[in-house]
Amino acid sequence: MKQMQYIAQLETGVKALEAQVAMTYPKIKQVDTQNALLRVENSSMKEKLHALSTECMRKQAEYHELKKQKDELKQLSLLQQSLITETSQAKQHSFTQLLNVARDQPGFNQHAGEALSPMMQDHDLEN
């Protein structure tokens, strides 16, 4: 009799566990489905992150290249401005020297005087 009681208790325990499994199984199935969806979403997010990281690195490299080009162009512009200034000053200096040399030549002022003389003569005639 004790053995029959023990078997009945075991059968009751088995039925209780079967009921618990029956109630828990749909929850487990739902969690597994949710887990699978989250894994897919995680994979998609990793791909997007990788793509965005690659794009970011490309844009950073492009930014640094453009900044380098800007700095080179700025240096070139400053050098060009410096050369223009030096050339302008050199031309002005050369022109001044040329005028000084010409003024020192005999007859330089002679033509200027001849050009003014007839005008002054005409002016004197009117008075």
In a domain, 63, yes or no: yes
How confident is the prediction for the chain on average, in pLDDT?
Answer: 85
Number of domains in the chain: 1
Residue 52: domain span? 32-72
Per residue in 24-60, pLDDT (tens digit) is 999 999 999 999 999 999 999 999 999 999 999 999 9
In a domain, 57, yes or no: yes
Give the pLDDT of residue 127: 44
Per residue in 98-116, pLDDT (tens digit) is 667 666 666 655 555 454 4
In a domain, 50, yes or no: yes
In a domain, 127, yes or no: no
The mean per-residue pLDDT over the stretch 66-73 comes to 97
Assign 3-class secondary structure to 38-69.
HHHHHHHHHHHHHHHHHHHHHHHHHHHHHHHH
- 15-24, 83-92, 116-125 — which is least confidently predicted? 116-125
